[in-house]
Amino acid sequence: MEQILDVAIIKPHSIVYYKKFPSKKYNQTSKENLRQSKTALLKTCKRIADFKNFDNINNVFMAYNEAYKANFKKDYDGLLSKTLQNKIQKICSVFVNSVLKNYNPNFGLQQRLLTLSTFTLTSDKQHTTDKETVKAFVDFIDHLKKVDNFIIENGKLTDKKAPRLKNYFWRAETTENGVIHFHLISDCFLNMYMVKRLWNLQLKKIGYKEADNSVRVESLNKEKINDVHAYLLKYMTKQPLRDKCKKMFKEDLDKLSTFEKYRRPVMYKSWGCSRDMRKLDFPTFYENEIYFVDEMRQHMTPVELPETAPDFIKVFKGKTRNILKQCSYKLQSWVKDHYKKVYSYLYEISKEIKETISDFKQIHKIQYHQLQINFPHV
């Protein structure tokens, strides 16, 4: 029988203490009724979203929204829920930390590093459905993973190879006029010429023109950007406000309707990542290990939670990366080892071993040397 556990999690800007209770069992009949109702709605919305003969994608969304509103009595805003935002933040943050902590400036581009890329369509009008456009982007990523990535130095192509793309996170969002574009966090240097060529080929397949300005690639590292986490998470979790609303106060925003406030949401999947990244987790302490974290808490500020929050949840805020430097070597080593294990899980251990690992609680319990194999950190 599953027991109640005391847990402490170290996040980039907070520590969260809580109790983990046994998994709740739901009434199967209620779940089935909810599923049937949701399925009926999704079938109606899917038919609308898949409609191909349209002049303006925004008109398709208006029909989609009417079908949604008929069932739920509210507009479809497509916003990320708080739960989903937290999930994305966890995946991206742990991924970014694991790559940065293994990054060595002396090794140049022939190692794992972080790249942020933006991919746009080459037309102000979107003639493909959101589903077709997103699937084309996913196909592009699959192709990108299979192509050699030659390094460019001083504007010239060399015969040196950077690692191929392996782990990534992407987010789709719309522009002011409703056309989709994509942000991609990748784990290697990307040859701009190669990436443009592949993306333009993908655009051509779905009926768009090729263009030199369809891709922007930006390499990221600790020397260039002070807080890479914050910089990347802004792209991956921001809500799609309209340009005119970006500088408005919250009380003024609350007076606006969904359509006045937000850009058109994506009528299909709006984010995705490589499979291994879905299991990533923050450094987590259980039961008698929690006292390790208490020394960090002394340098942090308690957060006043809403009255509705359970009394077994405690949150302390502060930039944990800086606070950790003031703590014991043992705690620093524990956190560092966690990200080494994450890196090893992502890049060094075999697929067979990965399949035996259900979550990162197991990774935490395994000694780091048990995960290592004799492969270079690439």
What's residue 32's pLDDT? 53
Q: d(Cα 216, Cα 214) in Å, to the nearest integer?
A: 7
More confident residue, 9 or 220: 9
Assess whether pLDDT exceeds 50 at residue 305: yes
- Tens digit of pLDDT for each residue in 319-350? 998 899 999 999 999 899 999 989 999 998 88
More confident residue, 238 or 313: 313
Percent of the chain residues topping a pLDDT of 70: 86
What's residue 217's pLDDT? 92
16-20, 44-48, 345-349: which range is least confident on average? 44-48
What's residue 17's pLDDT? 94
What's residue 231's pLDDT? 72
What's residue 374's pLDDT? 38
State the burial class of residue 122 (Cβ atoms within 10 Å of its Cβ: 0-12, 13-18, 19+). middle
Name the strand (E) or helix (H) holding 30. Answer: helix 28-49
Is the Cβ–Cβ distance between 335 and 257 less than 8 Å? no
What's residue 177's pLDDT? 87
Is the Cβ–Cβ distance between 57 and 263 less than 8 Å? no
Assess whether pLDDT exceeds 60 at residue 74: yes
Residue 373's pLDDT band (boundaries 50, 70, 90)?
very low
Overall average pLDDT of the 243-272 stretch:
86
What's residue 39's pLDDT? 65
More confident residue, 198 or 106: 198
74-83, 132-141, 173-182: which range is least confident on average? 74-83
Domain range list for the chain = 5-25+286-371, 29-71, 82-278
* Among 89, 128, 122, residue whose Cα is nearest residue 271: 89
More confident residue, 137 or 221: 137
Kindly list the strands in the beta sheet with 215-220, ordered across the sheet, starting from the edge strand earlier in the chain: 215-220, 114-120, 180-186, 168-174, 271-273
Question: What's this model's pTM, rounded to 2 decimal places?
Answer: 0.85
What's residue 317's pLDDT? 95
**Strands 314-317 and 14-20, sheet pairing:** antiparallel
What's residue 378's pLDDT? 41
- Tens digit of pLDDT for each residue in 95-150? 998 998 888 888 889 999 999 999 999 988 888 999 999 999 999 999 999 999 89
Q: d(Cα 18, Cα 310) in Å, to the nearest integer?
A: 9
Name the strand (E) or helix (H) holding 40. Answer: helix 28-49
More confident residue, 226 or 208: 208
Assess whether pLDDT exceeds 90 at residue 171: yes
Residue 259's pLDDT band (boundaries 50, 70, 90)?
confident
Three-state SS at 56: coil
* Among 248, 185, 249, residue whose Cα is nearest residue 218: 185
What's residue 366's pLDDT? 52
Give 248-254 contacts, CB < 8 A, sequence gap 24+.
none
Residue 376's pLDDT band (boundaries 50, 70, 90)?
very low
Is the Cβ–Cβ distance between 317 and 348 less than 8 Å? no
Residue 377's pLDDT band (boundaries 50, 70, 90)?
very low
Assess whether pLDDT exceeds 50 at residue 369: no
Identify residue 70 by its one-letter amino acid code: A
